Structure 1
Amino acid sequence: MTREMHLNAFLTSVGHHQSAWRLPESDPLANTDVEHFRHLARVAERGKLDSLFLADHPGLWGDISRQPAAALEPTVLLTVLAGATEHIGLIATASTTYNEPFNLARRFASVDHVSGGRVGWNIVTTATLIAARNFGLDELPGHRDRYARADEFVELSRKLWDSWEDNAILGDKEAGVWGDNSRLHAPAHVGTYFNVAGALDVARSPQGYPLLVQAGSSEDGRDFAARHADAVFTVQQSLDEAQAFYADLKKRAAHFGRDPETVKILPGIVPTIGSTQAEAEEADAQLARLIKPEYAIKQLVNILQVPADELHLDEELPASITTDRRIEGGQGRYALVVGLARRERLTVRQLIGRLGAGRGHHTLAGTPEQVADAMQHWFENAAADGFNIMPPVLPSGLESFVDHVVPILQARGLFRTEYSGKTLRDHYGVVRPANQYVDGEAG
């Protein structure tokens, strides 16, 4: 079979550019408008995309004056989108640092049942002090400690999802026996971070486990992805960097005894599409003119973890900010931003302009053919198994991608023309996992 791309639509309120909400056509209330997300989901499904994705952060950033900040809890929104679609996969972020395994495993198993086997979990460890203080902590837990907790969290979640065998429900009316207790398996888990006694109260879901997605790029994040993830959302600025990440993660997956081909790597791209390159570049320029530097610097401070008074708009980053400096926040994103600034010798003003479009993801501005060419080049040169599509403006950016770029990819034999499977695992070519408690099946 010809290798095909995997495409995910990363949905936000009105787009990934921080200024998108200020455009005349944008709805500043879209972030809590269910119909807005229904429309986006249907557009993505019309394009036969593998999945859509809703990010999440368990805390308000504090300053709501600069851009839409309110957000619906994503797994709740996924149940709405499940009813609005038939085929597309539905992925949501949930934190292992600020949830408990029983509740979260139950929630994802429930959405998998509701959607007919189309749910995925983007596993994050949440690298902000804002979130920590919402959950009774004075300090952000250490980076390594967050990943150790996440590792146990995922292993315990698997035990919970497997706690019902597939044939545990008998429904024998004549004998009066609904289920077989011998086919239930209580995890009885006693670990470093969690103690969970009983079986889940949701039967094993259509996929067995949700598709597991991860997005960390630090050393701990890469190892975690190589052990657990079926798909990896990653931030890569250039082909060389993407190729290096791709090779490294595939090698790590093999080291952990996994088939590297079953780990799908999807760099984020932020495509601005125009009938000409000049038209696309002008659309980008319009958005850039709407950036408010005083707000963008606050975002940069969160990434770099330095006082705001150390950053000056028309100067480069201070010499003390180096790529090998250790922080307890998002290490992968920190390294990417500092590397970009140093490599291109950007001033702070230039850096926030580059980050405004997609927070460090690869940006493209051009015709549909140019966007398709760039995607094909990465895909065919060991840099990507597909892409995390992050339109700068929504819904128009997703509509343009689906209506103009997807047909080119389909004509080139790079992307499906119809869905061939029923579940999200089917879309990504990932098998349904065996139940670890059943004799003869691997855990």
Structure 2
Amino acid sequence: MDFSFGAEDEELRGRARTWLAGHLVGPYGDARGLGGPGGEHEGVASRRGWERELGRGGWIGQGWDLPAGRYGQRRLPLTGQVVWAEEYAALRAPGRVGHIGENLLAPTLIAHGSREQQDRFLPGIARGEELWCQGYSEPDAGSDLAGIRTTAVRDPVDGLPRVTGQKIWTSLARDADWCFVLARTGPGSRRHRGLSFLLVPMDQPGRIEVRPIRQLTGTSEFSEVFFDGAVAAETVGGEGNGWAVAMGLLALERGVSTLVQQIGFAAELERVLAAHLAREAAGAGDPVLRDRLVRQWAELRTMRWNALRTLGSGRSAGSVGPVGSAGVAGGAGGAAAVGEAVGAPSVAKLLWGGWHRRLGELAVQVRGAAASAGPTAWAPGLPYEGGLDAEQRLFLFTRADTIYGGSDEIQRNIIAERVLGLPGEPR
């Protein structure tokens, strides 16, 4: 695949760099570098303001499969989206708080929602004014999402679904305005049948309770959410079709956003490499550790080119939906394209989950004994927040990388059963 930046991309790079430099000032400049892995609690107010600043600049929704400007957004090709992401990372712009709405819900509404639903919800996302969270996993239905027990029953008076149940590992739930919820609407239904994809406003006192989950890092990016007859405003894709909508959304989760994620990984790796080079200059280098860091760099480059190849082949094979969708309409790519489209997201998750976890281990190994001593965070009865440095937080947070977003075991099963055609696990 020929993936190169043309003259238009480089012109966009200059405009993006100039815009970012001119707007990353004041509180937004102070928020540079905040909001990374394990740091979603950092500078939330400034980052919410920054989201609105991005919306005013038209930088939200670049990859939406819609005419440019319908909701105030730019329309950029794949190369342009990568250029923007590279410049964003290079200037250490604040971690995005609106990515769930922009990169997950919005493309799903474009693919499965009505025009009325798009007109109702996409403008708020494009302006950076409304934040979303995802209500999928439950205490007994994490990787096995088809086992969810949260229900939604239509109210006999207003006809709207009333959601009752519990969701867990809900990212950004404390700050979200809306939640898209997968719930069981078919009485007596089992597994994949009878599910619906619902849009639920979070501001429902007495009907929705958010309880933060304290992590190893001491922060609470995730929460558990309890619904007690909460009103759902919309059903996307029709009642009972929630599984197809939910699976389409999960495919989007590992599209262009994977490349953006890797750019952040590269910045983390650079900091670890710089720390190792400093130790080498001081005569405390470790050749074995150096070899592992080189291998880590090479693996990141391989992941980047694999992601670019996958996105490029998906588009040439007649991809359906927005950029980054894993759905393939057949034809040019045939069965091979379908197999790659199904397996590519799982392969990507396996690659980056293990890679990032190893980077966390390397970060503390480069620090040596100092990485396990000193912070007041480890003292009994004291909060972690503020007591961990960047390397320690990276190490602790990445323990979960091979679990959240679909565990390694589940990804291997998907590849084995749906791509390679191997027998399924006994159930």
The answer, yes or no, to whether TM exceeds 0.5 is no
Greater helix content: 2
Which range, TM-score by smaller chain?
Answer: under 0.3
